[in-house]
Amino acid sequence: MVNRSRRPRRARLLAIPLAAIGLVLGMTHPALADNPTSTVVDSTRGGGMSVGLTFDDGPNPPDTLRLLGVLREHHVKAVFCLWGDHVRQHPEVVRRIVADGHTLCNHGMHHDDMAAWPAQKIRADLLETSAAIRAAVPGAHIPYFRAPYGSWGQTPTVAADLGMQALGWRLAVGDWDPPGTAELIRRLREGITPGAVVLLHDGGGDRSQTVDAVAAVIPALRSEGWHLSLPARRG
């Protein structure tokens, strides 16, 4: 989601004890309101033996471009949660993401913690981010929003009002502090559960280990009967 010195405080608190047993789990988010569109989803639309790959903090050449090559080779579609500042720096990479048929997610303009923000300020940030994405790709469809640091506050409701589903995760493998490709592979293989959305990163630092791990894990999962899916949407 960002340089890992700024990695989500809440996610880090969860990660420390779990990392000791080899995997880092993300938060499973309950409904934040009766309106189903303001629920934070963390499961795939297919359920069962499916898993959804999501990538935060890009676009970030060259890692994003190499990741796109891996996904293309294995015919996998993923969700890219885009950081607005990075979108403005690398609009051509956003165009590549869309051209390859992947799904876009608004990840905030400056990767700020919005947990305590009033709704009006959140709305302005999300609108600015979506505008930056659409400046790169006119008319781009942006069906998801993911809060930086997993700090939700009022963001799911505001995102729903703007037509975006709040997107959480069930598994975060801690690639913001790269532990080595072999360790990332192990955390993915041991941590993935049926229907899980997985949080990974293509930006916010050197993500070459993440790309290498994804390249190894996709064929291994498929050989065991898993299929790669997109996250659910509600409402």
Strand-strand pairing, 79-82 and 50-58: parallel
Q: Give strand pairing partners of 81.
A: 56, 105
Residue that is written with structure tokens 């949407």 in the block: 233
Coil, strand or helix at 37: helix
Q: CB–CB of 228/50 below 8 Å?
A: yes
- In this structure, is the dihedral angle defined by the CA atoms of residues 224, 55, 97 and 147, taken in order, positive or negative? positive
Contact 211, 185 (CB under 8 A): no
The helix/strand/coil state of 235 is coil
Q: Which residue numbers are catalytic?
A: 56, 201
Distance of CA 72 to the CA centre of its chain: 18
Query: Phi and psi (nearest 5°) for 83?
Result: -90, 120
Q: How far apart are CA 37 and CA 11, in angstroms?
A: 23
